[in-house]
Amino acid sequence: MAPIASTLALGAGCYWGTEKFIINDFQKIHPGSIVDAKVGFMSAKENAKANPSYEQVCTGKTGHVEVLNIKLRPNSDDDSADGTTDPEIFESLIRFFFMFHDPTTLNRQGNDSGSQYASVIFYSDEAQRKIATRVKKELQDGIDRRKVTTYENPTVETEINDYTEFFPARDSHQNYLGKNPSGYCNHRIRLRDWPKL
């Protein structure tokens, strides 16, 4: 498999839980796979407000989604400016993303409701888009064949959009659950094994 872009952003509801599960739990599977990650906001809409505040995004009116912006470990032989990564790591991350949130609840995760809590994959190149689309289809096939029954609804609502400008959240929201271990988090492992089709 050819290398692919190393940068992406994932929205899976409240970004605190997304950060915790990817930084802590995903890296137990692939140690050192993430070289940088920050919570913040991204929008698929053109002319979205630049540098929105958390309070503005929470209104659901800015068009932004709470995301974790991720830089995956680059290939050791890669000397390009943007960096490329192992597509197998990327695919594993996308599968893991679907395992700790419910991608069938449109613009909602648990008690958090609004477009800012959408399930979204923001991809950086065509190779990422193809993998994300294929993995989403695999999951939908698993639901359709009743091999996956742990989600609330029968349709995967996850959007797959072009990576746009990332706006970091305030410092107090970075590593929030690391600093506040008993803080609010509605994420949990909903799917322990990827469906075999």
What token pair was written down for 149?
A: 């029954």
Does residue 60 contact residue 43 with C-beta atoms inside 8 Å?
no
- In the residue annotation, 14 being an active-site residue is answered as yes
With residue 144 as reference, give the H or E element that holds it: helix 126-144
Q: Which of 14, 68, 93, 139 is catalytic?
A: 14
Residues 6+ apart with CB under 8 A from 195: 138, 139, 141, 142, 145, 147, 148
Half-sphere exposure of 79 (CA within 13 A, CB side): 1
What token pair was written down for 159?
A: 């959007």
CA distance 49 to 106: 23
Does residue 73 contact residue 35 with C-beta atoms inside 8 Å?
yes
**Beta pairing class for 34-43 and 167-168:** antiparallel
Cβ count near 177 (within 10 Å): 19
Catalytic annotation, residues: 14
